[in-house]
Amino acid sequence: MKCGLLIFMLISTCQCQIGGLSQYRKDSASGSSNCILELRKEDVSVTKENDVVSVTWKNAPNFDHCNITLHLDIFDTTGQLYSANTSFPSHDIIFPFIGCKVYNLSLVATMNVSSVVRVTFPIAFTKEPSPPTCKTAEIGTSFAVLECALNDEESQCDLSELIIDCKTESGQEMRKIVNADLISVRIENMTACTNYTCVAIVKGSDGQLSHPSTSIPIETKEGVPDPPTLHNVSSITNTSFVIKWAAPTNINGVLTRYRITVAPKNARYYIPQNCSFDDRIPQEYEADPDISSLTVADALSYYEYEVFVEAKTFAYGPRSEVKRVLTTGGSMILYPVNRKMLSLI
């Protein structure tokens, strides 16, 4: 259990009224030293634990022997809020105190009807803040925006921070701390296509923390994958080569396809300019997500190709690095001679 911090404002009044005169102590009619009615502010102890306030007259005389009763009142600017009588030198008050609000406590001790002593002073208690209420306003692939309402009906204490704690199913944790006057909180650096459970906590200026809010489920949107890792491209015959790759480091969703692009670049043999040879159109191949290699079997002999790979979730992500491969030499390909050009020679 947490103990509230009691704030005493030393502007109390302490007086005993007898026949219109004020004094701080009064002997009983018998004159017995055991029946001295004395009530001073410094003899009154007020403590708070959870919602129970204990008022104790620390140096009280013998209540049974001297027939002393206590009357307690709590009031604010609107009037009396609590009243009780007791014949014991201590009393527990169960009262819904508003945090940091100033109340007036009045303690009246009476002995044999004629002797009355009153002490009145202000009291205030800090109180644990109420949990905030938050909901999701926007969710992206790597961020979420929460809108939070601060429930301060039970406290007038200043709030300093709004804390958002999020955790994934795998145990990854992240925390966002903002000023308590912000009601919209943007959480960055989240992982795409991932389930988070978040809670919000309010911190008071006195350091007290509220209980966590109700859980806020967040599922970030699917993103495009990182580039695959293109391991190598190697020629196996004069008209074929093999391409090998690995899955992206961060898939950011559900991997559905690979796209492999093979682009002819340059022949390593002479082709006359007048020959109508243009076979440099890139070819695209697709592979299932559990495939990590592809053999190109219809390549040109002794030809240089560029190769790169892309991965797809709901859309294709950036391509891998580009690598070049040269098919090994084979039989030369003869192209027809342009007869019109020959006639000009």
Same-domain pairing of 239 and 321 = yes
Domain contains 246 = yes
Cα 120 from Cα 124, distance rounded (Å):
13
pLDDT tens column, 154-169: 778 888 999 999 999 9
Please tell me which of 12-16, 19-23, 312-316, 338-342 the model is most confident about, judged by mean pLDDT: 312-316
Which of 124, 145, 178 represents a domain boundary (last residue)?
Answer: 124
Rounded-to-integer distance, Cα 99 and Cα 104, Å: 14
Instruction: Report the alpha-carbon distance of residue 17 to residue 271 in Å, rounded.
Output: 123
pLDDT bracket for residue 279 (50, 70, 90):
low
Q: What size, in residues, is the chain?
A: 345
pTM beyond 0.85, yes or no: no
pLDDT top residue among 2 and 160: 160
pLDDT at 8 over 50: no
**pLDDT of 230 strictly over 80:** yes
Q: Are residues 141 and 74 in the same domain?
A: no
Residues 146 and 211 in one domain: yes
> For the residues 84-113, what does the mean pLDDT come to?
85
Amino acid 20: pLDDT? 24
Element (H, E) at 340: helix 339-343
Q: List the domain range (segments joined by +) for residue 211.
A: 133-220
pLDDT of residue 242: 95
Among candidate residues 162, 194, 220, the one where a domain is terminated? 220
| Residue 74, in any domain of the structure | yes
Instruction: Number of helices (H) and strands (E) in the chain: give both, helices first.
Output: 2, 26
CATH number, position 190: 2.60.40.10
Q: Are residues 233 and 299 in the same domain?
A: yes
The verdict on 239 and 190 lying in the same domain is no
DSSP string, 205-244: TTS-BPPP-S-EEEEPPP-PPPPPEEEEEEEEETTEEEEE
Q: Mean pLDDT throughout 14-43?
A: 49
Domain-terminating residue out of 93, 124, 155: 124
Is residue 329 predicted with pLDDT exceeding 80? no
| Other residues' Cβ atoms within 10 Å of the Cβ of residue 335 | 12
Whether residues 145 and 112 share a domain: the answer is: no
